[in-house]
Amino acid sequence: MTTTGDGPATSTPHEEPKGWGIAGVTVVSLAAAVVVLWGISEHSSILMPAFLALNLVIAAQPLQRLLERSGVPRWGGMIIVLLVLYVVLLALIGSLVWALWVAAEEIPQYQDKFVDLYEQSLELLGGLGVSQDQVASSLQGVLDPGTIIGTVQNVAGQLSAAGGQLTVLIIALTFLVFDIPGIFRRRPAIARQRPRLADALGSFTDGVKSYWIVSTVFGLIVAVMDVVALWILGVPLALVWGVLAFVTNYIPNIGFVLGLVPPALFALLTGGPGDAIWVVVIYSAINLVMQSFIQPKFTGDAVGLTPTVTFLSLVFWSAVAGPLGAILAVPLTLMVKAFLVDADPRMGWFSTFLTTPDADGRRGKRRARRASAR
């Protein structure tokens, strides 16, 4: 009840609390996230190639700026960058097609050896008291020689299934090469109105460039070292396994294991347990030195994700978007972090769980350099 002057008392309606409350916001946010992730999963064949194209164009921006500083007209630099990206894609796809083709042609020659090894393994397990019939039924369809060899041949025969994704990639690449430089030039305008968003975009692009450039360089180094080691050991299809090692280098954490199993298996078939152990030891040593000690020193300045977050992002994005999600796991996580964490001052506390302890300090230095450049 309230009174106004000497007038009669009047009642005021009860004021409802404003806002939805933390429970309502949480429920709605989770529901929206589920819908978004479902949409990404359903349309991953379009979204993932387009996002890969965005990553490639961002990674090529240093070349674009170098050409412009060298006096090449802006449109000329864009065309050169586009042609370079086309050549890189052609080389990568060509090497993959060649590797799969050679594997499909050569692997059947080792089918008898693989069957012998399979039967010897069953006998060994039987000698240890394990029923051979039980082991054979458990491994049926998983380690069956015919299944494994047939899988390789099917993969080689289904390359046309990737044609649609390749088309999306090329189209997106063509448009983004001409659009992205204009967006970068408008960054000062974004910084004046949304400084945190501009800083988040800068961190995302820095992370993407560092991740792809360094991963490619170190992937080539690791692949060459693996091929040389396999050639010295006399393991068949050394170049094929080198291509596999290069591609799987883009998959964090478990890519090394995926690239190790086939050459180790063929070393076992052709050279016995000794050669197989040498392959495992050499691959492990190269991976430990290059990917655990040297490569993180180059990528850490821009990426800064903790190893746990990197592994969880691999599992999560693989489940959402399939094989391309595994390859793009780190860039996808960087994008989510940029727009949902770095751009929102209220989410600063959450960033401490995602990044290494010194990542915020490095990001501050990059922010200062961008501000001085403007």
Residues of the chain with pLDDT under 50: 1-2, 4-5, 11, 14-17, 141-142, 157
Is residue 11 situated within a structural domain? no
User: Are residues 326 and 206 both part of a single domain?
Assistant: yes
- Does residue 176 share a domain with residue 87? yes
The answer to whether the beta carbons of residues 176 and 51 sit under 8 Å apart is no
For residues 94 and 223, membership in a common domain is answered with no
Considering the domain architecture, whether residues 233 and 151 belong to the same structural domain is answered as no
Tell me whether residue 39 is in a domain: no
Q: What is the pLDDT of residue 17?
A: 47
pLDDT number for residue 278: 93
pLDDT the model gives residue 257? 85
**Same domain, yes or no, for 171 and 154?**
yes
**Are residues 173 and 63 located together in one domain of the fold?**
yes
Question: How open is the CA angle 217-62-332, to the nearest 5 degrees?
Answer: 65
Cα–Cα nearest to 79, from 87, 185, 93: 87
Predicted confidence at residue 271, as pLDDT, reads: 82
Q: Is residue 2 part of a domain?
A: no
Last residue within a domain, chosen from 139, 167, 185: 185
Separation CA 6–CA 370 (nearest Å):
65
Number of domains in the chain: 2
Q: Is residue 271 part of a domain?
A: yes
Mark whether 255 and 362 lie in a shared domain.
yes
- Boundary of a domain, candidates 135, 157, 185: 185
Question: Residue 83 has what pLDDT?
Answer: 94
Same domain, 209 and 151: no
172 and 291 assigned to the same domain: no
The reported pLDDT for the residue numbered 322 is: 87
Q: What are the backbone angles phi and psi of residue 67, rounded to the nearest 5°? A: -65, -40
Write down which residue in 185, 212, 231 finishes a domain. 185
CA–CA distance, 303 with 314 (Å, rounded to integer): 15
Cα(first)–Cα(last) distance of the chain, in Å?
A: 59
Residue 68 lies inside a defined structural domain of this protein: yes
**Residue-number span of the structural domain to which 319 is assigned:** 192-374
**Statement to judge: residues 106 and 203 lie in one domain:** no
Question: Is residue 299 within a helix (H) or strand (E), and if so which, with residue range?
Answer: helix 295-299
Helical residues (DSSP H) of 234-252, grouped into ranges: 238-248
- Separation of alpha carbons 160 and 164, rounded Å: 8
Q: What is the pLDDT of residue 16?
A: 45
Flag whether 33 is in a domain.
no
Is residue 125 domain-shared with residue 222, that is, in the same domain? no
Cβ pair 106, 237 in contact under 8 A: yes
Q: Residue 232's pLDDT is what? A: 92
Instruction: Flag whether 241 is in a domain.
Output: yes
CA atoms within 13 A on the CB side of 58: 22
Domain membership flag for residue 303: yes
Give the residue ranges of DSSP H helices in 43-141.
44-59, 61-69, 74-106, 111-127, 132-139
C-alpha 315/C-alpha 12 separation (Å) is 56
Q: Please check whether residues 164 and 228 belong to one and the same domain.
A: no
